[in-house]
Amino acid sequence: MSKTVYILNGPNLNLLGKRQPEIYGYDTLEDVAANCAKVAEEFGITSKLMQSNHEGQIIDWIHEAREKAQGIIINPGAFTHTSVAILDALNAYEGVVFEVHISNVHKRESFRHHSYVSLRAEGVMAGFGVEGYALAMRRMGSLLK
Ligand code: CA2
């Protein structure tokens, strides 16, 4: 059976491509899903992109991934900087975890410099625009193959 990677997105990322293009670009989450699916396919992997504005929903998806996905690519949005609960859920997950940020969080306000999720992630992409998701998927493909 083919391996599955969840691509989880946190609050406000549903606005991608619709607001603040100077920071987040013009691509939508649908474009991200299509680009990642194309890369995943090269490795025979199935990808599933999800977005929620609710912390509990993201935690539920991480729990679900314990049974259903061998890897998680996560952009937790602002929860990156606040959520011990998401970190705890990821710590209970045994697959590969990559963290993605569209913007270079280290070039922005100091409250964006700390990430709870980085304490768990095998790798972090920041500042590569939405291409960071596909790059993370490529690395995921080589690790899972
Ligand atoms: O750079 C990233 O990907 C962030 O995770 C995005 C979060 C921000 O809180 C993090 O510090 C860095 C914000 C997501 C907001 O997404 C929007 C997208 C388009 C328009 C408005 C908001």
CATH number of the structural domain spanning residue 57: 3.40.50.9100
pLDDT in tens, the chain (145 residues): 899 999 999 999 999 999 999 999 999 999 999 999 999 999 999 999 999 999 999 999 999 999 999 999 999 999 999 999 999 999 999 999 999 999 999 999 999 999 999 999 999 999 999 999 999 999 999 999 8
Write down the pLDDT at residue 1: 83
Q: Among 8, 16, 19, 24, say which to mutate for ligand 1: greatest number of ligand atoms within 8 Å of CB.
A: 24
Write down the pLDDT at residue 89: 99
Q: How many domains does the chain have?
A: 1
Domain region containing 102: 3-144
Q: Among 52, 103, 133, say which to mutate for ligand 1: greatest number of ligand atoms within 8 Å of CB.
A: 103
Is residue 52 helix, strand or coil? Answer: coil
Q: 34 Cβ partners below 8 Å, 6+ apart?
A: none
Please say whether the dihedral angle defined by the alpha carbons of residues 115, 78, 11 and 60, taken in this order, is positive or negative: positive
CA of 138 to the centre of ligand 1 (A): 22
- Both tokens of 115, joined, read 């990430």
* Residue 118 contacts residue 126 (beta carbons within 8 Å): no
Q: Find, among 53, 55, 64, 121, the residue nearest to 91 by Cα.
A: 121
- Burial (CB < 10 A; 0-12, 13-18, 19+), residue 139, is middle
Dist CA 84 CA 103 (whole Å): 22
